[in-house]
C-alpha cells in the first residue's frame, strides 16, 4: 500500500474530482517514483532506454561512436538493417481491457483511503480501439532520427544515388515506419527501378506466421506458455496483485495478472507515446516493475526466444537471406563489379529480431527462464527491453579491407545492435573476418532451411511432448 499522503484526511471530505486537483497540488512523490520504472518496460521500452544520450540530442552518435571504427583501410560495401517499427499505440485488445479496468474504477464511490483510485478515475481514457497497434507520432520520429544517425555513421553507403532496398512487414505500423525511415534519409537516394517505396515481404519479416510448426506447437498451443501462466499465478505476481488491489481499494478477487499488466502497460505507453508519467505508474514500485518485466521476458523467451527450438529455427529464412546478400556483395567486389544492393533496410517486429538473435546464440542464459527462478534470473542476459525496445535495430556491415595496409583478411563484418557493436561469440571481438563468421555459423548455413524446419511432421503427435 502506498504511504498515506499528508492531504489524505482533507481529501476524504471532498468529492473525487476536487480530491484529484488537491493531489496535483501536493508534492509529486509517487509521480517521481515512476521515473525509476522505465527501465523495466520490456518490449514497450523507449529506444532512449538503451541509448540515454538521445534524450538530450536525438541525432548524436553517442559515446561509443569513435571506438566502433575500423581501420581506415576498410570501406563499407554493404549494410543490412533489420528494424523493429517505432513507438506504437496499444493493440485493440489492450485498449479494451484498459477501458474495462478504467470503467470499474470510475463506477466506484470516491474512497478517501484510495487516492490512487481517485486519480485513476479522474484520468482521461483517450485510447480508442481504432488506434489498434498503429505507429504513434513518436514512432515516426524514432524512425526518421534513426535513419539520420545511420546515414551519419556510414556516409559513404548513404551517399546520393546509392540504391536502397526497403522492405517491410505488411503491418501498417511497419509500412509507416519504413516510410518515415525513408523520409529521414532525404530525397537523394535512389529506389532503383521499381516504383514502390516499400516492398512488402511477410515471408521474411513475419516468418513466424508462415511456419506451420511454430503456429501449431507454440502460437496456437496453450500448453506452450505454461511457464508464463504459472508465473502469473505465482507468489511474486500475487504480491504485486495484492498491493495494487489494496492501493485501488478493490478486493483482490476483482483483479488478475492480466489487468495488473494492463495498468503497467498503460504506464509504459503514456511515457513512450506522450512523454508523460501517468497516474497509472504510481501503482507500482521498482520491485513490482521488476516482476512485471520478468513476466514480459518470460513470454518473449518461450514464444520468441530459447524456450523452444522452433522459435529461432523459423527465422532461418531471414538468416539465409542475410548471408546470400553478403555472399553476393563479396562476389561482386571480387570481380570488381558495382555492389548491386549496398543498402538493405527491412522493417519488422520484435518478433522478427528476437528469434534471429536466438538463432545466432546471443543473450543466452545458462539456465532457462522459468516461473520458479525469478530470483536467480535477476542478472539475466535475456532482457527484452535491452534487446528489442521500440525502433530496435540489428545492422550487419560488410567491409572490404585493403590487405597491404591491414594484414587482415579482405572481407570483414560488424554487427551492431541498437547502434552498438556486438561482440562475436567466436572471437569476443566486434569485428570478424567474413570467412570466420561463416565458419562459426556453418551448421546453420548448411542445415537450417525454413521449409524443412517448419513442416509439421506427417504423423500426428501432440505438440507439447515433442517440444
Q: Which is nearer to ligand NAG, 31 or 330 (by Cβ)? A: 31
Residue carrying the nine cell digits 490512487: 116
Grid coordinates belonging to 219: 502460437
Residues 50-89 as x/- pattern, contact with ligand NAG by CB under 6 A? ----------------------------------------
Strands (E), 114-200: 164-168, 199-200
CB closer to ligand NAG out of 185 and 198: 198
Residue pair 80/322 in contact (Cβ under 8 Å)? The answer is yes
Look at residues 134, 84, 37, 39 and name the one whose alpha carbon lies nearest to residue 304. Answer: 84
DSSP 129: G
Enter the DSSP assignment of 113. Answer: T
Nearest residue to 90 via CA among 248, 342, 277, 271: 271
Q: In the stretch 191-210, what mask flags binding to ligand NAG with x, by CB under 6 A? A: --------x-x-xx------
359-418: contacts with ligand NAG (CB under 6 A): none
Residue 169: exposed, middle, or buried by beta-carbon count in 10 A (0-12, 13-18, 19+)? buried
Nearer to ligand NAG, 32 or 423 (CB): 423
Contact with ligand NAG (CB under 6 A): which of 297, 321, 351, 419?
A: 321
Pairwise CA distance, residues 395 & 84, whole Å: 12
Q: Does 460 bind ligand NAG (CB under 6 A)?
A: yes
Min dist. Cβ of residue 464 to ligand NAG (A): 13
- Minimum CB separation of residue 203 from ligand NAG in Å reads 5
273-292 footprint of ligand NAG as x/- string (CB under 6 A):
--x-----------------
Beta bridge partners of 82: 346, 394
DSSP state of 201: -
DSSP state of 69: P
102 as an active site residue: the answer is no
Nearest CA to 86 among 149, 44, 23, 38? 44
Q: Minimum CB separation from ligand NAG for residue 373, in Å? A: 24
Please, what is the minimum distance in Å from the beta carbon of residue 401 to ligand NAG?
21
The total number of residues shown for the chain amounts to: 467
Q: Which of residues 152-181 bind ligand NAG (CB under 6 A)?
A: none
Identity of the residue, 4 or 426, whose beta carbon is nearer to ligand NAG in the bound complex: 426
Q: Which of 228, 207, 222 is nearest to 462 (CA)?
A: 222
CB of 421 to ligand NAG, least distance (A): 10
- Number of residues in contact with ligand NAG, rule: CB under 6 A? 9
Residue in 194, 222, 428, 451 binding ligand NAG, rule: CB under 6 A: 428
Degrees, nearest 5: CA angle 70-182-59: 55
Q: How many Å is the Cα radius of gyration of the chain? A: 24
d(CA 213, CA 18): 56
Q: Which is nearer to ligand NAG, 201 or 256 (CB)?
A: 201
Strand partners of residue 232: none
Q: Considering beta carbons, is residue 199 or 229 the nearer one to ligand NAG? A: 199
Q: Cβ 443 to ligand NAG, closest distance in Å?
A: 21
Exposure pattern of 329-341 as b/e (b: 16+ CB <10 Å)? bbebbeeeeebeb
Please tell me which residue in 53, 56, 85, 426 is annotated as part of the active site: 85
Contact positions with ligand NAG (CB under 6 A) in 256-275: 275
Q: Work out how close the CB of 78 gets to ligand NAG at its nearest, in angstroms, rounded to a whole number.
A: 15
Please identify, using beta-carbon distances, which residue of 199 and 242 lies nearer to ligand NAG.
Answer: 199
Q: Tell me, what DSSP letter sits at residue 90? A: P
State which of positions 335-364 bind ligand NAG (CB under 6 A): none
* DSSP string for 134-147: PBPHHHHHHHHHHH
Compute the least distance from the CB of residue 190 to ligand NAG, in Å: 19
Q: How far is the CB of 363 from ligand NAG (least distance, A)?
A: 15
Residues whose CB falls within 8 Å of the CB of residue 467, separated by 6 or more in sequence, listed in order: 217, 218, 224, 308, 310
Q: In this complex, which beta carbon is closest to ligand NAG, that of residue 407 or of residue 428? A: 428
162 phi and psi, to 5 degrees? Answer: -75, 155
Of the pair 201, 373, the CB lying nearest ligand NAG is at: 201
Residue numbers annotated as active site = 85
Which residues make up the interface to ligand NAG (CB under 6 A)? 199, 201, 203-204, 275, 321, 423, 428, 460
Amino acid at each position: 500500500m502506498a504511504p498515506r499522503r499528508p492531504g489524505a484526511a482533507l481529501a476524504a471530505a471532498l468529492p473525487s474530482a476536487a480530491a484529484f486537483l488537491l493531489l496535483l497540488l501536493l508534492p509529486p512523490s509517487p509521480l517521481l517514483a515512476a521515473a525509476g520504472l522505465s527501465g523495466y518496460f520490456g518490449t514497450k521500452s523507449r529506444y532512449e532506454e538503451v541509448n540515454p544520450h538521445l534524450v538530450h540530442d536525438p541525432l548524436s552518435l553517442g559515446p561509443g561512436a569513435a571506438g566502433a571504427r575500423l581501420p581506415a583501410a576498410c570501406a563499407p560495401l554493404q549494410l543490412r538493417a533489420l528494424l523493429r517499427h517505432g513507438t506504437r499505440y496499444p493493440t485493440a485488445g489492450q485498449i479494451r481491457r484498459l477501458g474495462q479496468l478504467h470503467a470499474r474504477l470510475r463506477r466506484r464511490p470516491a474512497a478517501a483511503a484510495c487516492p490512487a483510485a481517485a486519480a485513476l478515475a479522474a484520468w482521461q481514457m483517450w485510447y480508442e480501439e481504432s488506434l489498434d497497434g498503429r505507429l504513434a507520432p513518436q514512432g515516426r520520429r524514432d524512425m526518421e532520427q534513426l535513419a539520420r544517425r545511420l546515414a551519419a555513421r556510414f556516409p559513404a553507403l548513404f551517399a546520393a544515388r546509392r540504391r536502397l532496398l526497403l522492405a517491410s512487414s505488411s503491418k501498417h505500423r511497419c509500412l509507416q515506419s519504413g516510410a518515415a525511415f525513408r523520409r529521414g534519409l532525404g530525397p537523394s537516394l535512389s529506389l532503383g527501378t521499381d516504383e514502390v517505396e516499400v516492398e512488402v515481404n511477410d515471408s521474411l519479416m513475419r516468418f513466424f506466421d508462415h511456419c506451420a510448426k511454430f503456429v501449431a506447437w507454440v502460437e496456437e498451443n496453450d500448453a506452450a506458455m505454461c511457464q508464463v501462466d504459472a508465473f502469473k499465478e505465482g507468489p511474486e505476481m500475487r504480491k504485486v496483485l495484492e498491493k495494487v488491489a489494496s492501493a485501488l481499494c478493490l478486493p483482490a478477487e476483482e483483479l488478475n495478472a492480466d489487468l495488473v499488466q494492463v495498468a503497467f502497460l498503460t504506464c509504459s505507453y503514456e511515457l513512450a507515446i506522450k512523454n508523460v508519467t501517468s497516474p497509472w505508474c504510481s501503482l507500482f514500485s521498482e520491485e513490482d516493475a521488476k516482476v512485471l518485466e520478468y513476466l514480459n521476458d518470460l513470454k518473449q523467451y518461450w514464444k520468441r526466444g530459447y524456450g523452444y527450438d522452433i522459435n529461432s529455427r523459423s527465422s532461418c529464412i531471414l538468416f539465409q537471406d542475410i548471408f546470400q546478400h553478403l555472399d553476393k556483395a563479396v562476389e561482386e567486389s571480387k570481380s570488381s563489379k558495382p555492389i548491386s544492393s549496398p543498402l538493405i533496410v527491412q522493417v519488422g517486429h520484435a518478433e522478427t529480431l528476437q528469434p534471429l538473435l536466438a538463432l545466432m546464440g546471443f543473450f543466452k542464459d545458462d539456465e532457462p527462464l522459468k516461473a520458479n527462478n525469478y530470483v536467480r534470473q535477476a542478472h539475466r542476459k535475456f532482457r527484452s527491453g535491452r534487446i528489442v525496445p521500440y525502433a530496435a535495430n540489428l545492422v550487419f556491415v560488410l567491409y572490404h579491407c585493403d590487405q597491404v595496409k591491414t594484414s587482415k583478411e579482405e572481407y570483414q563484418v560488424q554487427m551492431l545492435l541498437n547502434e552498438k557493436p556486438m561482440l562475436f561469440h567466436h572471437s569476443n571481438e566486434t569485428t570478424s573476418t567474413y570467412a570466420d563468421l561463416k565458419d562459426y555459423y556453418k551448421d546453420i548455413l548448411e542445415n537450417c532451411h525454413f521449409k524443412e524446419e517448419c513442416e509439421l511432421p506427417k504423423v500426428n503427435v501432440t505438440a507439447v511432448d515433442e517440444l
